[in-house]
Amino acid sequence: MGQHIGETIKIIERTASTNNYATSQVRENDVETGTVFLAYDQTAGRGQFANRWESEAGKNLTFSLVLRPGFLEIYKQYMLSKMVCLGLERFLSAHTEGVKIKWPNDIYVHDRKICGILIENSIMSGQLSLSVIGIGLNVNQTVFLSDAPNPVSLKMLTGVDYSLETMLKELLQHMDTYYQQLMQGRFDALDEEFEQKLYRLEEWHPFQDEAHHYTGKIIGVNAIGQLRIEEKDGPVHEYHFKEVSYL
């Protein structure tokens, strides 16, 4: 089976969720690793924790990527998120400025969200047997109707109307570059670059966790993907998803 991302791209005119579609295809067919399922119209895209992803038909990149990362130890599964985020950051930074990775897996331009990622992993016999990675990237949409607080698209930032096919090909090339690094076990290089690209890294900002509201600064991410925040005049906290809020 091929090991390059995007060697096979399957087009779906309309589906509720590309992640659901990809998962069903894997169950029913022999889907090669690296296969991309692209939907021109995703009607019920899913984000983290049952959030919805708004996408106007034919305006954005909404797709899912199938990988079989059995070479990764389970405790390193957050490396998949790092790989995807770095590919997106590199791609977007070629077209606009101020691109950052907002932990755990959103892409921001300045303080506005341009991309969301949903990674669903399956574990079998103590190994990562399957990863379905859903990506919603705002490209040409200029009006957002949902109550999402801060959406933005490339066209809103640059005024350019982009070819989705061209942009997808370029993005997948960047993502594959980082996937090759991941397969080669270059974890330290990926960790270092990921941390350098973190949104609000080494900046003092207000945060809220279950216990209190405080001022802190993001100092990195640990080996299992927890966000590390140093509290002003206090300890370093480590958080899993949804355990801390950016204020």
Task: Catalogue all structural domains in the chain, each as residue range(s) with its CATH number.
Answer: 9-196 (3.30.930.10), 204-246 (2.30.30)
From residue 110, alpha-carbon distances to 128, 139, 170 in Å are 34, 16, 22
Whether residue 53 contacts residue 45, with contact meaning beta carbons closer than 8 Å, is answered with yes
Nearest Cα residue to 91 out of 173, 196, 184: 173
Q: Confirm whether pTM is higher than 0.95.
A: no
Q: What angle do CA 138, 5, 119 make, to 5 degrees?
A: 60
Tokens of 194: 């990921």
Mean pLDDT in consecutive groups of 10 residues from the start of the chain, 247 residues = 82 91 92 94 62 76 96 94 98 98 96 95 90 96 85 97 96 97 96 97 97 96 95 95 93
Helix (H, G, I), strand (E, B) or coil at 246: strand
- DSSP lists the bridge partners of residue 15 as 42
How much is the pLDDT for 57?
A: 82
Spatial neighbors of 186 by CB under 8 A, at least 6 apart, are none
How much is the pLDDT for 1?
A: 42
Torsion on CA atoms 205, 206, 207, 210, rounded to nearest 10: 160
